[in-house]
């Protein structure tokens, strides 16, 4: 037999092997899985913890709507009377939208951990990205507090509280421990406004614990959060040399300066049972910081040129401030206090709705079609 015949036989055998593999049931099962994996990997490579700004906004809005819908006897409360007229179905739809958004983001991030673990690891080591790892747990705690289906002093509520709070405490131990020990990151070098998310995580947990009647747990978390808030606040004011700054497009996160004292006032209100002097002091501090930021529009001018997910950082702090103003107005019972609540709540709702519209019109920013980004060290947007 000639060499040509031998080569022809080998080619036929190879072709038969390829056809057999393509026709095998195992190949037919793996092919769709490979297609699915290839289609979602580019999307998962672009999803990062910063996208939980969206869930923070929607979940806090649900809590604001529930707070405004609670009965109040004061005749000055115009916005509360308006929300009493709004059908309860509107709040249920908003809460359901927040739940769906948070569930989808959480599922996508779990898949990111499976398919792009190196990116998740890089995010944890990033001086901004690591702080947004608190965001999903804050969102779940906010959603739990606004839930219309689970009573606060029931076993399911208690179990969910533990599920959402334990990761916050674990992250506290990891991050706070590196600040005052010989860890890889010192606060003076990595401090930025997003560091306040760790404090907010504790304070949101405080409010839920106090509403369940767990006063000791609430005081423990309040102490942990406020102690580190003082350290972070002073460090950020000092602007020490060698500190890693924020890129221009992340400047909206400066509004977290407003969110932290607002959430702290709500947390202390839930512990003490009334919006007392300490809660008012924290609320006034958040008002001052809010005015300091809104009177400096040039600080945010460059970051507003093109939409990105960092824009959602405006919504949650405004909603937290509006929530604090609602409790303040209920305590003070005056025309000015309720007018302030009306302005802040309306502003919060308008900003949140505007972001939903803008984000819907720019879905390509959230759902990119390009190939995965292999540069895991790239800064988080």
Calpha distance 329→314 (Å, rounded): 23
Query: Which of 66, 273, 270 lies closest to 149 in space, CA to CA?
Result: 66
Task: Label residue 182 by pLDDT band (50, 70, 90).
Answer: low
pLDDT for res 151: 86
pLDDT at 253: 92
Q: Count of alpha carbons within 13 Å of 257, Cβ hemisphere only? A: 21
Residue 61 CA to residue 324 CA, distance in Å, equals: 13
| Mean pLDDT to the nearest integer, 194-223 | 93
pLDDT score, position 88: 72
Distance CA 5, CA 291 (A): 87
Q: Quick check: 100 pLDDT over 90?
A: yes
Q: Look at the chain and count its residues.
A: 381
Where does the chain have alpha helices with state H? Answer: 3-23, 25-46, 52-69, 78-85, 88-115, 117-125, 135-145, 155-180, 187-190, 196-212, 215-238, 256-272, 277-294, 315-332, 335-361, 363-366
Only one residue has tokens 């507003």, namely 304
Q: What percent of the chain has pLDDT over 70?
A: 76
| pLDDT above 60 (res 288) | yes
pLDDT of residue 177: 76
Taking the CA of residue 30 as centre, how many other CA atoms within 13 Å lie in the half-sphere pointing to its CB?
7
Write the pLDDT tens digit of every residue in 38-77.
Answer: 667 666 777 888 899 999 999 999 999 998 877 665 555 5
Q: For the whole model, what pTM was predicted?
A: 0.83
Question: Of 22-31, 176-185, 281-290, where does the model show the most confidence?
Answer: 281-290
Q: CA 346 → CA 13, 41, 315, distances in Å?
A: 74, 39, 12
- On the CB side of 100, CA atoms within 13 Å amount to 6
Tens of pLDDT, residues 300-314: 888 888 888 889 999
> Residue 372 has which token pair?
């995965």
Flag whether pLDDT at 3 surpasses 50: no
Instruction: Dump pLDDT digits (tens) for 242-259.
Output: 455 678 888 999 999 999
Question: CB–CB of 309/53 below 8 Å?
Answer: yes
Q: What is the pLDDT of residues 305-359, one digit of tens each?
A: 888 888 999 999 999 999 999 999 889 887 888 889 999 999 999 999 999 999 8
Q: Does the pLDDT of residue 160 top 80, yes or no?
A: yes
pLDDT at 201 over 90: yes
Q: Would you say residue 95 has pLDDT above 50? A: yes
* pLDDT exceeds 80 at position 280: yes
Q: What is the mean pLDDT of residues 144-159?
A: 90
Measure CA of the first residue to CA of the last residue in the chain; give whole Å.
67
Structure confidence at residue 218 (pLDDT): 94
pLDDT of residue 82 exceeding 90: no
213: left (phi over 0), alpha (psi -120 to 50) or beta: left
Checking if the pLDDT of 374 tops 70, the result is no
Q: Percentage of residues in the chain with pLDDT exceeding 90?
A: 45
pLDDT band at 215, cuts 50/70/90? Answer: very high
DSSP-assigned states of every residue in 235-291: HHHHT-TT-----GGGGGGGGHHHHHHHHHHHHHHHHHSS--HHHHHHHHHHHHHHH
């Amino acid at each position: 037999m000639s060499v040509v015949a031998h080569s022809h036989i080998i080619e036929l055998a190879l072709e038969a092997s390829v056809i057999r593999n393509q026709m095998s049931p195992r190949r037919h099962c793996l092919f769709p899985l490979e297609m699915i994996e290839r289609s979602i990997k580019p999307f998962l490579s672009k999803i990062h913890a910063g996208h939980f700004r969206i869930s923070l906004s929607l979940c806090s809005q649900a809590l604001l709507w529930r707070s405004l819908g609670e009965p109040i006897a004061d005749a000055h409360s115009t916005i509360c009377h308006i929300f009493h007229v709004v059908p309860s179905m509107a709040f249920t739809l908003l809460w359901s939208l927040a739940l769906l958004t948070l569930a989808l983001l959480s599922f996508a991030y779990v898949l990111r951990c499976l398919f792009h673990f190196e990116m998740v690891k890089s995010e944890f080591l990033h001086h901004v990205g690591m702080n947004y790892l608190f965001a999903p747990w804050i969102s779940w705690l906010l959603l739990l507090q606004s839930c219309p289906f689970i009573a606060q002093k029931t076993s399911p509520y208690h179990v969910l509280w533990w599920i959402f709070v334990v990761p916050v405490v674990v992250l506290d131990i990891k991050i706070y421990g590196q600040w005052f020990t010989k860890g890889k990151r010192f606060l003076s070098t990595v401090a930025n406004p997003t560091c306040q998310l760790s404090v907010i995580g504790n304070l949101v947990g405080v409010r839920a614990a106090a509403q369940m009647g767990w006063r000791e747990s609430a005081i423990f978390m309040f102490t942990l959060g406020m102690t580190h808030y003082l350290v972070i606040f002073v460090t950020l004011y000092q602007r020490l040399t060698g500190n890693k700054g924020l890129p221009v497009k992340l400047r909206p996160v400066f509004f977290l300066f407003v969110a932290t004292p607002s959430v702290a006032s709500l947390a202390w209100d839930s512990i003490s049972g009334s919006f007392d002097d300490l809660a008012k002091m924290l609320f006034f501090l958040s008002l001052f910081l809010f005015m300091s930021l809104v009177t400096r529009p040039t600080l945010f001018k460059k970051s507003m040129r093109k939409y990105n997910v960092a824009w959602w950082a405006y919504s949650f702090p405004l909603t937290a401030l509006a929530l604090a103003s609602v409790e303040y107005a209920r305590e003070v019972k005056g025309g000015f206090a309720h007018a302030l609540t009306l302005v802040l709540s309306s502003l919060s709702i308008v900003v949140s709705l505007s972001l939903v519209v803008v984000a819907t019109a720019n879905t390509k920013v959230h759902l990119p079609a390009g190939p995965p980004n292999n540069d895991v060290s790239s800064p988080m947007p």
